[in-house]
Amino acid sequence: MVDDGISCSHGDYPCRFTERSAWSQRVIPHRVFSPACLLQKAQMGVLKLLPQCLAAAHAVLGVHPFPRLDVLIVPAGFSSLGMASPHIIFLSQSVLSAGSPGSEESLSLCGSRICHEISHSWFGLVIGARDWTEEWISEGFATCLEDIIWAQAQQLSLEEKTEQFDLKALLRWRRLSDELQNSKEELQILRPNMEKTGQVSESGSSTVKHALNPEKPFMQVHYLKGYFLLKFLASQVGEQQFIEFFQLFVKKYHGHLILSQDFLQMLLISFPGMERKGLTLGAIYADWLDQPGIPKWLYERSAVWSQARLVEEVKAEVVKWILLSQSHHGKGRKRKRMEPKVNYKELTSDQLVMLLELLLEESELSVASLRALQRTYSLQNQDAEVRHRWCELVVKHAYAQAYGDVEHFLIHDQAMGVYLYGELMVQEDPEQQALARHCLSLVQGEMDQSARRVVEEMVL
């Protein structure tokens, strides 16, 4: 795509985007602040990855919007995994490695989260949503760009990048499907004000629907559905062309608050072939932004992702674990417990998440198989995404020997543990319910207020 002479149209202030020769740093000055007890993990994780992620973001999106960056590791009671502000990123301690901090795979969650928050410098900070109900403009873009920037930071080959993207897309598809089945339809719409989006009254005021709904901060529809809309659009024009369009869009709209149509109209003008295929502004609104549920393209594409190589590897491992579990059923007490020797494949963190999600679909797993699963993958030392699925598995099968892992997660990973309280309560197991109340009593004084109210409704 050729640069067509787009120039700034924001207010009068020094602009980093037009004076490129003055702001050419691939890696801007950066610092990391952490509690002393987490300093080593922060150094081996965040501080190690920041230069790679900053350089990758520069390669993907161009000049950095801000001249420096600090990262602050926040307490366990912080309500999310991360938050970006000008010059500073707040990161949850949950993104730090729980196990050996030196391994590359242990840094996956940390790296991808850093890339997500860095993406907000472009989409969220120098470009924001003019209507607060259109959070997808910030979060959908950051979720899409986190994958692109993290792949660039890892210097993946085209094949490796495609495989990683497909696995992540399938995991997000599963999460979105589950969330849409368990949420109100009105909260599934990315542009709830529709034709009134961005309108103000004669007095200059506007109504923000759902902005203070206590359920919405714990939902990811605007992250995930927005991410899939961007993946759909990229599939229509080509990924590299789409990234180049991002750069042009930033050049035109930095310093502005925008609406969905600003992005989509510029995209349709830049790629006229889309409208010739029937992808009009109205069609995109109807399929993706103005109604609940899942667009047809996403159903079709998810079938392709489910056959990706990394996913097929996981499915093969799932079969081994199911067979192991079945081999323990019906054994007499007096028979010596002999576990069959099985060669388990080493899996990435994302593959482990998929493995545990698929095992969660099994109605019954033996205690011996759960014990072997925990030992084989050192699950208590994996990243927070993996440990979260492990805790769900522990709760579902009332695996009491690992209740300590659940307690540790609810205390130290509060940004991710809200609905785990619900899982503990819904089983109607007195021991599990007592565990939920015990954990709440330990952390309620430091919990985010919104999270505490939601958990108290479940537990008390």
Q: What is the third-level CATH fold of 129-141+155-195+218-305?
A: Neutral Protease; domain 2 (1.10.390)
Note the pLDDT of residue 200: 63
The mean pLDDT of 36-41, rounded to a whole number, is 93
What is the location of CATH 3.30.2010.30 in the chain? 13-121
Per annotation, catalytic residue among 104, 105, 117, 392: 117
Integer Cα distance of 193 and 406 in angstroms: 40
What is the location of CATH 1.10.390.10 in the chain? 129-141+155-195+218-305
Note the pLDDT of residue 245: 96
Integer Cα distance of 220 and 304 in angstroms: 23
Angle between helices 349-360 and 384-396 in degrees, nearest 10: 20
Read off the pLDDT band of 148 (50, 70, 90): very high
* 117 is an active site residue: yes
Note the pLDDT of residue 38: 94
Pick the CATH number of 309-331+344-459 from 1.25.40.320, 1.10.8.60, 1.10.240.10, 3.30.230.10: 1.25.40.320
Higher pLDDT, 452 or 4: 452
Q: Where are the beta strands (DSSP E) in 82-124?
A: 82-85, 88-92
Note the pLDDT of residue 2: 42
Angle at 256 between CA 255 and CA 257, to 5 degrees: 140
DSSP H helix total and E strand total for the chain: 19, 6
What is the location of CATH 1.25.40.320 in the chain? 309-331+344-459
What phi and psi, each to the nearest 5 degrees, are found at residue 33? Answer: -115, 135
Cα distances (Å, whole numbers) of residue 33 to 30, 76, 108, 135: 10, 15, 20, 28
Q: What is the third-level CATH fold of 13-121?
A: Zincin-like (3.30.2010)
Give the model confidence (pLDDT) of 404-430 as tens digits: 999 999 999 998 999 899 999 998 899
Note the pLDDT of residue 1: 43
Integer Cα distance of 246 and 126 in angstroms: 13
Note the pLDDT of residue 334: 46
For the full predicted model, state whether its pTM sits above 0.95.
no
Note the pLDDT of residue 41: 92
